[in-house]
C-alpha cells in the first residue's frame, strides 16, 4: 500500500506539528507539492516508522538516521539503511526492526501495525512501561518478539494468539502482574518462551504442556504457586527449562523424566518438597541439574548414575539424607558437584577423585565421615574444595593442586590429621586456606608466604608445632593470618608484620615465647591478637609504625617494661588490652588525648602512680580495668593519690642511686613538698568533684535508670558490670560504639554506648529518650529490636537484640577493609534479603511522618528498610555531609534521579555496577528502595511485597564459572547456607 506525499503530510501533521524535523521537512519538499505532477507515492511502512519516531523519547538521538527529507531524493528505498531497519533481500519490505538498548521510552503507536511484513521486532533493554500495546499483535507475519528488560507493568493483554507464526517470545525482566497469559496457548509454533522476572501470580496453566515445538521454557523469578503441571512431560522437544525462584507447592513431577531431549533443568529455590523422582535418571541428555534451596528429602536416586552427560549438579540446601551414591563416580563429564547443607552421611565415594573434569566439589555442612578420595585433584582441574563442617578424617591427598588450579581449600571443622602436603606451598593459584579446628600436626611448611595470590590463611585450633615460617611476613597479598590455638613453642619470626597487605594477625594461645619483634613494616595491620602466650620483654616502642591499628590484645603474657606512649598516638586505636602481664611504670598521660579509645585494660600488672583523670576517656572506664596493680591510685579505685605515699619499686631504685649531698636533699624535699601540696589540693578537689558526681545521690548525674520495652532477665547493674568487663566490640558508628555482652541470665545483647563527647542538652536528651521509648515498640523481623535503654543525666546505653553478623555500617564503611563488602553485589543482595538489619532509631532511618505523628508502625519499618537498601546500593551512609545539611541518602538519591545520567552516580561501582548484568539487578533493587521510601506511607509496600520483589531481583550468579544454556546469560551461583565461610564476608561478632 502506498500513499501520496501530500496525504502523508496530512497524516503526519498531528504528530509533527511541533517538531523541528517536520518544519525542516515541510519547507524542503513544499515546492515539490506544487510542482510535482503526479505527486510522488510513499510506502505506508515509512509513515509507520515516522509515526513511531514521533511517539518515542529518544535521549540518545539514536534514530537520527530516520530522516524523511531524503525520501524523495533517491529512487532506492533509503529507509532500508536507517538504524535498526532491515529489509527483505532485493525488496523495500521491512522485515526486521531492532530498537534494543537505546534508552527509549514513550509509547508504541497504533501505526506500527502497518509494518505488515515485519518478522522480527526487538524492543528490549529500554524504558517502556505501562500497558503492552496490542497493536503489536496485528503484525501477523511476526516470528520473533523481544520486549525483555523493560517495565511493562500491567496484566499481559489478550490477542497474542493472533501471531500464528510466532516462534520466539522473550518478555524477561518486566513488571507484568496477574496470571500467566492463557491466550498464549494458541501459538502452536512457539519454540522459545521466556516470561521470567516479572510478578506473575497463580499456577502454571496445564495448557502450557501443549506447545509441540517448544524447546526453551523460562518462568523463573515470578510469584507463581501451585504445582508444576504433570503435562510438562508432553513437551518432548524441550531442551532448556528454568522455573526457579517461585513458590510452588508439592513435588517434582515424575513426568519430567519423559523429556528425553532435556539438557538444562533449573527448579531451584521453589519450596518444593517430597523426594527426587527416580525418573529424573532417564534424562540422559541432561547437562545441568539445579534443584538447590528447596525442601527436598529422601535419598539421591541411584538412577542418577545414568546421567552420563551431566556437567553441573547442584542439590544443595535441601534435606537429603543417606549416602552419596557410588554411581556419581560414573559421571565422567561432571565439573560442578554441590551437595552442601543437607543431612548426608557415609563416605565420599573414592571414584569422585577420578572424575576427569571435576572443578568444584562442595560438600560442606553434612555428616560425612571417612577420608577424602585419595586421587582427588590428580585431574589437574580442581578449583574449589569445600568439605568443611563434616566428620571427615585422615590425611589430605598429596596432589590436590596438581594442575596449579586450586583456589580455595576450605576444610574447617573436621577431624583431618597428619602434616600438610608439601605440594601446597607450590600451589600458586591458591587464594584461601581455611583448615581451622582439625587435628593437623607437624610444622607449617615453608613457602606459603611466597604464594603470589594467597589472601587468607587460617590454621588455628590444630596441633601444629615448630617455628612459624618466616616467609609469612613477606606474603604479597596475605591480609588475614590466624595461627591461634596451636603448640608452636617458638618465637615469632622477625619481620612477621612486614607483609604489605597484612591486616589481621591472630596468634592467641599458640605457645609463642620470646620477645615481640619490632613493628617495622606494619603499616596496614589493624588487628593484633596474641593473648595467652609466653611473650616476654618490653612492648617495642616502634608500635607507632602501625598507624592503622585498631585493636591490640597482648593479654596474659609475661611482658615487662613500660607501656609505650606511642600507642596513644595511633589515630584509630580503639582497643588496648595489656592485662595479666608484668608491666611497670606509670600509665602515660598521653592516653587522655586518645579520642578513639574505648577499651583500655591494664589490670593485674605492676603499674604505679595515678590513673589519668582528665579528658573524656579514663573517667568513663570501669575500675576493673585497673585492678591488680597495687601501686596505682586514683578516685575510680577508691584510693586517692596521697602525697608522700610509697611508690612501688622506689626502694630498689634508691639503692642504686649515688648518695646525694645534704643541700641537694634539702632542695629535693622542698620541691617535693611544694608539688605534694599542689597535688593534695588539686587531688582533693578532683576527688570531691568525682565522688559527688559518681557516688552521691546525684544532683548532676543521678542514678542509672533501666527502661525496658519487654520483659528482661537482667538489671541496670548487670548491664553496667557486663559492659565494664566486655572486650567484644562488634561495631563503631557515627553515634557510638556497639558491644556484645552476655548477661548473667545467659542472654546475649548488643549495647550501643553513645559517644561521651557528643553530649546533648537535657532538653534534647529527653527528646531522644522519648523517641527511644516509641522505637522500643517496633516489632519486625527485618528491623533490629530495641530491648531497652539505660540512662542517667550524662550517658545513654541502648540495648538491642544481638545480631551475630554485625552491622551494615561495619560491613560497608568499616575500617576493616579486608573484611567489608565493598566489592560484592551478590553478598550485598544477600544482606538486603536476610535480616542483617538496621537500627530503626538512628537518624537517617526514621520515616518523615514520625515528626508529626510520633508513631512507628510497619510502614515506618518499611521506610527504614528502604534506607538500608539505598545504603547497600550506593555504598554510602544514611547521613553524610555530601548530601547537604539536613539531607539523607533518600534526598540525595531523589535529586540524582532527576539529573541526566544521575543513576550512574547512585549505584556503587565498587559493587560491580559497571557490569551490565549487575547494574540491571541493582536497578531492580533500587526500584524497591524507592517504593519503600515513598513520602506517603500509604504508597509503601508491605514487607511481604518487598520480599517478593527482592526475590525477582535475585542475582543468578553462583561462581565465576559460567554454565551457559540457550539463554546465554545464566550463571551458576555457588549457593550455600548463610553462615558459611564468613571470612569471605567477615562476621564482626564471632569468627569461625
Residue positions in the annotated binding site for ATP?
753
How far is the C-alpha of 793 from the C-alpha of 206, rounded, in Å?
A: 69
Can you tell me the distance from the alpha carbon of 751 to that of 703, in angstroms, rounded to the nearest whole number?
19
Distances (CA, A) of 814 to 504, 627, 818, 821, 867: 14, 32, 10, 9, 18
* Phi-psi group of 779: left, alpha or beta (phi > 0 → left; psi -120 to 50 → alpha; rest → beta): beta
Contact 392, 368 (CB under 8 A): yes
CB-side exposure of 540: number of CA atoms within 13 Å? 16
How is residue 917 written as a grid cell?
548484568
Task: Give which of 613, 572, 565 is closest to 592, Cα–Cα.
Answer: 613
HSE (CB half, 13 Å, CA atoms) of 127?
11
Cis peptide before 911 (omega within 30 of 0): no
Distance from the Cα of residue 635 to its chain's centroid:
47
Q: How far apart (Å, rounded) are the C-alpha atoms in residues 41 and 49?
A: 16
Count Cβ atoms within 10 A of the Cβ of residue 226 and give its class: 0-12 exposed, 13-18 middle, 19 or more buried. Answer: middle
CB 356 within 8 A of CB 379: yes
Direct distance between the N- and C-terminal alpha carbons of the chain, in angstroms, rounded to an integer? 74
From residue 180, give the alpha-carbon distance in Å to each of 156, 174, 245, 503: 7, 13, 16, 53
H-run or E-run covering 439: strand 439-442
Q: What are phi and psi of 896, to 5 degrees?
A: -65, -40
Say how far apart CA 407 and CA 400 lie, in whole Å: 11
Query: Per the annotation, where are the binding residues?
Result: 753
332: which 3 cell numbers?
565422567
Beta-carbon count within 10 A of 606 CB: 17
- The 8-class DSSP code of residue 173 comes to S
Kindly compute the dihedral angle of the four CA atoms of residues 78, 81, 87, 92, in this order, to the nearest 10 degrees: 10
Amino acid at each position: 500500500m502506498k500513499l501520496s506525499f501530500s496525504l502523508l503530510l496530512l497524516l503526519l501533521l498531528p504528530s509533527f506539528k511541533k517538531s523541528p524535523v517536520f518544519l525542516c521537512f515541510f519547507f524542503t519538499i513544499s515546492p515539490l507539492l506544487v510542482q510535482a505532477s503526479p505527486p510522488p507515492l510513499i510506502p505506508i511502512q515509512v509513515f509507520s516508522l515516522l509515526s513511531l519516531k514521533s511517539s518515542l523519547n529518544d535521549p540518545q538521538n539514536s534514530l537520527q538516521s530516520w530522516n524523511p527529507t531524503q525520501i524523495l531524493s533517491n529512487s532506492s528505498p533509503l529507509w532500508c539503511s536507517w538504524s535498526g531497519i532491515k529489509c527483505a533481500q532485493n525488496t523495500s519490505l521491512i522485515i526486521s526492526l531492532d530498537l534494543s538498548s537505546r534508552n527509549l521510552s514513550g509509547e508504541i503507536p497504533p501505526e506500527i501495525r502497518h509494518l505488515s511484513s515485519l518478522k522480527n521486532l526487538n524492543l528490549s533493554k529500554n524504558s517502556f512501561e505501562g500497558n503492552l500495546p496490542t497493536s503489536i499483535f496485528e503484525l501477523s507475519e511476526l516470528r520473533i518478539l523481544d520486549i525483555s528488560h523493560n517495565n511493562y507493568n500491567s496484566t499481559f493483554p489478550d490477542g497474542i494468539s493472533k501471531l500464528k507464526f510466532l516462534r520466539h517470545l522473550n518478555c524477561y525482566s518486566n513488571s507484568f502482574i496477574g496470571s500467566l497469559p492463557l491466550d498464549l496457548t494458541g501459538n502452536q509454533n512457539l519454540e522459545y518462551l521466556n516470561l521470567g522476572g516479572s510478578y506473575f501470580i497463580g499456577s502454571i496453566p496445564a495448557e502450557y504442556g501443549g506447545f509441540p515445538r517448544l524447546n526453551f521454557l523460562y518462568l523463573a523469578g515470578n510469584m507463581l504457586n501451585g504445582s508444576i503441571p504433570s503435562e510438562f512431560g508432553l513437551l518432548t522437544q524441550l531442551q532448556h527449562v528454568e522455573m526457579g525462584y517461585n513458590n510452588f507447592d508439592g513435588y517434582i513431577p515424575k513426568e519430567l523424566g519423559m523429556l528425553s531431549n532435556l539438557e538444562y533443568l533449573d527448579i531451584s529455590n521453589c519450596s518444593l518438597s517430597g523426594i527426587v523422582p527416580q525418573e529424573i535418571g532417564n534424562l540422559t541428555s541432561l547437562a545441568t541439574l539445579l534443584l538447590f534451596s528447596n525442601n527436598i528429602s529422601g535419598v539421591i536416586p541411584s538412577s542418577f548414575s545414568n546421567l552420563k552427560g551431566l556437567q553441573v549438579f547442584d542439590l544443595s540446601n535441601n534435606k537429603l539424607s543417606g549416602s552419596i551414591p557410588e554411581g556419581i563416580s560414573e559421571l565422567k563429564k561432571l565439573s560442578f558437584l554441590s551437595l552442601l547443607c543437607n543431612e548426608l552421611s557415609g563416605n565420599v565415594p573414592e571414584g569422585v577423585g577420578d572424575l576427569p573434569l571435576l572443578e568444584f566439589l562442595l560438600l560442606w555442612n553434612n555428616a560425612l565421615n571417612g577420608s577424602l578420595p585419595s586421587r582427588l585433584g590428580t585431574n589437574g582441574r580442581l578449583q574449589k574444595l569445600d568439605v568443611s563442617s563434616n566428620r571427615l578424617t585422615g590425611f589430605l591427598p598429596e596432589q590436590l593442586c596438581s594442575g596449579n588450579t586450586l583456589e580455595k581449600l576450605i576444610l574447617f571443622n573436621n577431624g583431618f590429621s597428619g602434616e600438610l602436603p608439601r605440594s601446597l606451598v607450590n600451589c600458586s593459584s591458591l587464594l584461601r586456606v581455611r583448615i581451622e579446628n582439625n587435628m593437623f600436626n607437624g610444622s607449617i611448611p615453608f613457602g606459603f608466604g611466597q604464594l603470589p595470590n594467597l589472601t587468607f590463611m587460617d590454621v588455628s585450633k590444630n596441633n601444629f608445632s615448630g617455628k612459624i615460617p618466616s616467609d609469612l611476613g613477606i606474603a604479597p597479598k596475605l591480609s588475614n593470618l590466624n595461627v591461634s590455638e596451636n603448640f608452636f613453642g617458638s618465637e615469632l619470626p622477625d619481620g612477621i608484620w612486614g607483609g604489605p597487605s597484612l591486616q589481621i594477625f591472630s596468634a592467641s594461645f599458640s605457645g609463642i615465647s620470646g620477645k615481640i619483634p619490632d613493628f617495622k613494616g606494619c603499616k596496614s595491620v589493624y588487628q593484633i591478637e596474641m593473648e595467652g602466650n609466653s611473650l616476654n620483654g618490653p612492648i617495642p616502642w616502634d608500635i607507632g609504625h602501625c598507624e592503622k591499628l585498631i585493636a591490640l590484645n597482648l593479654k596474659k603474657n609475661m611482658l615487662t617494661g613500660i607501656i609505650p606512649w606511642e600507642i596513644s598516638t595511633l589515630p584509630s586505636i580503639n582497643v588496648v588490652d595489656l592485662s595479666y602481664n608484668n608491666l611497670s611504670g606509670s600509665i602515660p598521660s598521653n592516653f587522655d588525648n586518645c579520642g578513639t579509645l574505648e577499651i583500655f585494660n591494664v589490670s593485674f600488672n605492676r603499674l604505679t602512680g595515678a590513673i589519668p583523670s582528665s579528658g573524656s576517656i579514663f573517667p568513663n572506664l570501669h575500675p576493673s580495668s585497673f585492678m591488680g596493680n597495687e601501686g596505682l591510685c586514683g578516685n575510680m579505685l577508691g584510693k586517692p593519690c596521697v602525697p608522700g605515699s610509697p611508690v612501688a619499686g622506689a626502694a630498689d631504685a634508691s639503692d642504686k642511686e649515688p648518695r646525694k649531698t645534704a643541700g641537694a636533699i634539702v632542695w629535693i624535699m622542698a620541691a617535693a613538698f611544694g608539688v605534694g601540696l599542689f597535688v593534695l589540693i588539686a587531688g582533693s578537689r578532683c576527688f570531691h568533684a568525682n565522688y559527688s558526681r559518681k557516688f552521691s545521690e546525684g544532683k548532676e548525674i543521678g542514678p542509672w535508670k533501666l527502661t525496658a520495652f519487654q520483659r528482661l532477665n537482667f538489671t541496670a547493674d548487670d548491664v553496667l558490670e557486663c559492659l565494664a568487663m566486655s572486650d567484644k566490640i562488634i561495631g563503631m558508628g557515627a553515634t557510638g560504639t556497639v558491644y556484645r555482652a552476655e548477661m548473667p541470665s545467659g542472654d546475649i545483647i548488643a549495647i550501643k554506648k553513645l559517644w561521651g563527647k557528643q553530649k546533648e542538652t537535657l532538653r534534647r536528651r529527653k527528646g531522644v529518650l522519648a523517641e527511644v521509648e516509641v522505637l522500643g515498640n517496633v516489632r519486625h523481623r527485618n528491623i533490629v529490636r530495641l530491648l531497652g535503654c539505660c540512662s542517667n543525666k550524662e550517658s545513654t546505653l541502648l540495648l538491642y537484640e544481638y545480631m551475630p553478623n554485625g552491622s551494615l555500617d561495619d560491613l560497608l564503611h568499616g575500617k576493616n577493609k579486608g573484611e567489608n563488602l565493598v566489592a560484592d553485589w551478590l553478598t550485598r543482595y544477600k544482606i538486603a534479603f536476610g535480616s542483617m538489619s538496621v537500627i530503626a532509631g538512628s537518624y537517617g532511618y526514621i520515616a518523615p511522618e514520625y515528626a508529626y505523628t510520633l508513631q512507628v508502625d510497619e510502614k515506618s519499618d518499611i521506610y527504614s528498610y528502604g534506607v538500608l537498601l539505598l545504603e547497600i546500593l550506593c555504598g554510602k551512609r544514611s547521613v553524610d555531609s555530601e548530601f547537604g545539611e539536613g539531607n539523607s541518602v533518600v534526598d540525595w538519591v531523589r535529586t540524582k534521579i532527576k539529573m541526566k545520567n544521575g543513576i550512574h552516580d547512585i549505584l556503587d561501582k565498587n559493587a560491580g555496577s559497571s557490569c551490565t548484568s549487575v547494574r540491571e539487578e541493582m536497578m531492580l533493587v533500587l526500584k524497591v528502595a524507592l517504593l519503600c521510601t515513598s513520602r506517603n506511607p500509604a504508597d509503601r509496600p508491605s514487607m511481604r511485597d518487598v520480599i517478593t520483589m527482592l526475590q525477582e531481583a535475585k542475582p543468578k550468579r553462583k561462581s565465576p564459572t559460567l554454565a551457559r544454556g540457550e539463554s546465554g546469560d545464566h550463571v551458576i551461583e555457588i549457593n550455600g547456607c548463610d553462615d558459611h565461610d564468613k571470612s569471605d564476608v567477615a562476621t564482626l561478632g564471632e569468627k569461625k
